[in-house]
Amino acid sequence: MVAEPSGAERSSGGKRPGRPPKLTDPTGSAVAALGAELRRLRVDRGLTLAQLGRLVGYSWQHLGAVERGTAVPSETVVLACDAAVLANGRLVAMLSAVIREQARVRHQHEAARRPARRADPVGAKARLVCGQGDLDWERLADATRRPSRLNAQVVDDLELITDRQRRLYHELSSAEMMVHVQAQVGLLVSLLDSPQPDLLRHRVASAAAEAAGFAAWLWYDLGDLYTMDHCYRQAALAADESGDTGLRSYILGYRGLVARAYGQSETALGFLDQARQTAARSVSDPTRSWLAVLAADALARVDRRHEAVAALDDARSLLAGRADRTDAWMYEFDEGSLAVHAGTCLLALGRSQGAVEAFSDALRLLPASCERRGAEIQVGLAAARLAGGEVEEAQRLAIDSLTTFATRGSVAGLRRVRELRDTFRTGGHLGAAAAVDERARALETVPA
């Protein structure tokens, strides 16, 4: 660890060697273990204490004391550090042991302040008669740190939590959900660190893959691609451990979706080709339809038009003839969802009127609660309207979607509106671009 510079050196930009770090024995206490893990993760991330302090809003001196195990962190500090160093809930999971340890320390201190009671022969005899004289309470407390013994009911509850969190995506902002989703990921990953029966282990791994994939999507929505990529890698590893090749293809599909959003068409196509090969026929028709329409859009963007049209037709036929079977980890992919992706594909193929019809169908079929998804459709519809020469309608849709994205804190959504604004400007529609900018400035002044 590099020692923190003095105030004068920080202002001048100079550096000094500093003292070598005083390493903490992580086996000494739960506080020391948490501090050592925080330091390890911070160093792996390439952060100094000062940089971590700026990220989490606490002084580097306090964080240094936490790392050395000489200060007990609050829950707020642990949550903030967990997110900043990409701990994926590991630090949060260690907090319960710290709380138990501190409670035991307080109990010992209170007992030390009552020597008369400890020396009371009558009380000692009573405890011996009650069978407590030879009980090692410290050893019993240590036993509480043993790995949990999972059963089917516990795994049912863990799976339900992951499912409910994904449903809340339509009700809460990504920032509001992030800490809780990351904590769920950390819990599931920590359960994989201990031996479990194979059947339960595969189910926990599947839940971990789903939760990590969802966390990755939230980080994408918040504009942190570094953390998003880390979570997607974690999701892929958990999916491999679950033995579910379909789940692995689902995660690859989302990676392709993100790559496409950032204009990396060849990379997106690579992910989607791998996803379709991985899935084969192990997944349900709705999932295969989703992968096919994503591939159609990617193919259209690399000018493989005939293949794109064939993949789009394939997606439609798969969904039209779908069986009752669905994949537990797949979101509800229906006609409205297909219409969204079909619209982007048709727009990439230069078929603006077909894209308008597809996006309009998607808005018509959208549940009222899905505001953020509605805004995403509006951006696509605005681009299609603009391609068809309907500038005023495109401007209205862009401003409406901008308002929703700003209210919901979607960085990815705001980026899409900004790209559309640039398209207005490039096409010579300066009034429309100015109107979008004016609305953005007005939203900046709205109290949070």
Residue 107 is predicted with a pLDDT of 61
Query: In the chain, what are the domain boundaries?
Result: 7-100, 152-242, 244-357, 366-448
User: Is 80 exceeded by the pLDDT of residue 434?
Assistant: yes
DSSP 427: T
Retrieve residue 168's tokens. 């809340």
Give me the percent of the chain exceeding a pLDDT of 70: 82
Cα atoms found within 13 Å of the Cα of residue 400, Cβ hemisphere only:
18
Smallest CA-to-CA distance from 247 within 289, 278, 281, 292 is with: 278
Q: CATH fold of 7-100, please?
A: 434 Repressor (Amino-terminal Domain) (1.10.260)
- pLDDT for 111-123, tens place per residue? 565 554 444 554 4
Confidence of residue 167 (pLDDT cuts 50, 70, 90): confident
What's the rounded Cα separation, in Å, for the pair 232 and 88? 12
User: pLDDT tens digit string along 398-423?
Assistant: 999 999 999 888 889 999 999 999 99
**Does residue 168 contact residue 184 with C-beta atoms inside 8 Å?**
no
pLDDT tens digit string along 32-89? 999 999 999 999 888 999 999 988 888 999 999 999 988 888 888 888 898 888 887 7
- CATH classification for the domain delimited by 244-357, as one of 3.40.50.300, 1.25.40.10, 1.10.1060.10, 2.170.130.10: 1.25.40.10
CA dist 4 and 16 (Å) reads 9
DSSP, residue by residue, 65-125: HHHHTSSPPPHHHHHHHHHHTT-TTHHHHHHHHHHHHHHHHHHHHHHHT-HHHHT-HHHHH
